[in-house]
Amino acid sequence: MEANAKRPGIPFYAQVLAAVSLGCLAGIFFGKDSVHYWANDNLAEIGFAVIRLLKILAIPLILFAIVDTILKTEITGSKALKVVAICLFNVCVAMVIGLAIMNIFEPGKHWKGKLTTPAQTAVSPVREEKPPAQKLILEPIKVFTGLVPESVAEPFVKNNTLGVIVLALLFGFAFKGMRQRGETERIDHIEKLVDTLFHATLTVIGYVVKIIPYAVFCLVGAAVGKSGLGVFSILWIFLVTILAGFFLHALVYYPLVAWLVGKKSPGIYLGKGADTILTGFSVNSSLATMPMTLKTLTQRMGISDASARMSACFATNLNNDGITLYEAMTALFLTQALGFDLPLSSQIFIVLVSIFVSMGIAGIPEAGLIILPLVLGASGLNDQSIALAIALIIPVDWFIARLRSAVNVMSDMVVAIMLDKL
């Protein structure tokens, strides 16, 4: 080995677990009965600041990611329309599964009363004047009409996620149309600019991700200082809830639709795709797994090269069932934990936000964690609620993140199988 070879760094999940452990120790030291109890509020404020920074950076990330995806993707022909339809159908099934679990079992209610800030009061959603009758209505119609901002800057100033998405789609397809009309040179310059800004945003987010363990230390320390170590005793409920959604969608629905529509038995889909699925789990990226996904589809499952490429190369930008299911279920879980009963219309609104914010983020490290504050914000939670919730669930996020990637890889494979038959 060369003397100047770069030594491998500590894995992100190991940093997070270390931060959680040290945060627990700090929380015990700064606990209620300690003369240092005042430090809890200071720790919490530091953690809140990092989460807010992550939230505001996610807005330009989504803008540039969507525009970049539209410019670089050939969305033409009947096959492309079929791919989009298949992806939408699959994610709708995922959302039905997620909503069914959340509404039938209401697992978040087992956390009710557990999400408390270091400042003695229960964390409540944005509108503090709401009575404790616990009914949070997001009024989707007003939200929909509010998609048209008063100015171009308003969605960015107010962190209006859907407003930014609407602008990204409008400008993305406008640039696409200009290229098709022959303004290639001008749009090439725009594409290079968007690509540069996209990767610059990724770089900045990379810096912030590196300090997330420090934020976790602060937030966990504050939470344990306020509520004690018992605050983590209920974490298994959240983990089981997310695993149930992944299990039903990836190990029941996917094999079933691959068999009934694509005529590939579960033995072929799961058996011959096992290596690729495990690779996606191991590397925590469906994009990094793409070469192996293509090889598995064409050489082991007998899928045509055109269908395999259309799914693994094009659809992977839209096909993020794992992230979408996780974001929506987590948001609904936490609103239940805070004691709010969301009507179905508001739940569907959260689902739509989850679908849109996951567009074009395939391959981005820790993508689910980066966009989670935006989805939680869209569900009506304030910054303190979001920061505390992330601190509690992040100890298992490193494991769930790998499951999200595995589900996304399985989704790429099933889309190719369905496309080949349709």
Give the model's pLDDT for residue 146: 59
Q: Are 179 and 187 in contact (CB under 8 A)?
A: yes
Tokens representing residue 46 in the block: 């530091």
Identity of residue 297: L
DSSP string across 11-78: PHHHHHHHHHHHHHHHHHHTSTTSTTTTHHHHHHHHHHHHHHHHHHHHHHHHHHHHHHHHHHS---HH
pLDDT tens digits, the chain, 422 residues: what are they? Answer: 444 545 567 777 788 888 888 988 888 887 766 556 556 677 878 888 887 888 788 788 888 887 887 787 665 556 678 888 899 899 999 999 999 999 999 999 888 876 654 433 333 343 333 433 345 555 556 656 656 667 777 777 777 777 787 788 888 889 988 988 888 888 899 999 998 998 898 888 888 888 888 888 888 888 787 777 776 777 899 999 999 999 999 999 999 999 999 999 999 999 999 988 988 887 777 777 877 888 899 999 999 888 888 787 767 667 789 989 999 999 999 989 888 888 888 888 888 888 887 765 655 656 777 788 888 887 878 878 888 888 888 888 878 988 998 999 999 999 999 998 87
Identity of residue 254: Y
Give the model's pLDDT for residue 205: 82
Sequence spans of domains, the chain: 12-421
> What is the rounded CA–CA span in Å between residue 183 and residue 290?
32
Give the model's pLDDT for residue 125: 41
The fold adopted by the segment(s) 12-421 is: Proton glutamate symport protein (1.10.3860)
Find tokens 């492309």 and name the residue: 80
Terminal-to-terminal C-alpha distance of the chain: 52
Contacts for 413 with CB less than 8 Å, ≥ 6 apart: 254, 258, 269, 273, 276, 293, 296, 297, 301, 311
Give the model's pLDDT for residue 251: 96
Give the model's pLDDT for residue 253: 97
Tokens representing residue 266 in the block: 């579960």
- Tens of pLDDT, residues 26-71: 888 877 665 565 566 778 788 888 878 887 887 888 888 878 877 8
